[in-house]
């Protein structure tokens, strides 16, 4: 059964710092991996989706990498800002992705201090 783990559970950094969030998964047979952002009391917003054939995806100050063989993904945030404060979740499709049922990690709560 696929399991997704995110470390650390919480992270506090000063504004301007570069940071890395980690995501691990137990079954490397995935179609893709997604990173989501969740603001308090809100739904999830998709940040980046990496296909299994890709090694990384970039969007602005965000860069996500994927290493299927080691079951790991990282989300790199450059020059962090207080507006980046949120919970970040990673997710992979279950059973290879035929139905797009997502298995989520428990998230990393990020606080960027001004």
Partner 1 sequence: NAGVTQTPKFRILKIGQSMTLQCTQDMNHNYMYWYRQDPGMGLKLIYYSVGAGITDKGEVPNGYNVSRSTTEDFPLRLELAAPSQTSVYFCASSYSAGIDTQYFGPGTRLTVL
CB of 104 to partner 1, least distance (A): 4
Q: Which of 61, 101, 111, 113 binds partner 1 (CB under 8 A)?
A: 101
Write out the binding residues for partner 1, residues 7-46 only, by CB under 8 A: 9, 31-32, 34, 36, 41-46
Q: Is 72 left (phi over 0), alpha (psi -120 to 50) or beta?
A: beta
Q: Which of 23, 33, 64, 89 binds partner 1 (CB under 8 A)?
A: 89
Cβ-contact 70, 55 below 8 angstroms: no
Q: Does 62 bind partner 1 (CB under 8 A)?
A: no
Could you tell me what percentage of the chain is helix, strand and coil, using 3-state DSSP and rounding each to the nearest 5? 5, 55, 40
């Amino acid at each position: 059964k696929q399991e997704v783990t995110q470390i650390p559970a919480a992270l506090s950094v000063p504004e301007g710092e570069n940071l890395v969030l980690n995501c691990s998964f137990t079954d490397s047979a995935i179609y893709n991996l997604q990173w989501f952002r969740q603001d308090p009391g809100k739904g999830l917003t998709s940040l980046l989706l990496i296909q299994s054939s890709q090694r990384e995806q970039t969007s602005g100050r965000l860069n996500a990498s994927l290493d299927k063989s080691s079951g790991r993904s990282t989300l790199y945030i450059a020059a962090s800002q207080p507006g980046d404060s949120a919970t970040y979740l990673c997710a992979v499709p279950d059973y290879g992705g035929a139905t797009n049922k997502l298995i989520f990690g428990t998230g990393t709560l990020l606080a960027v201090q001004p």
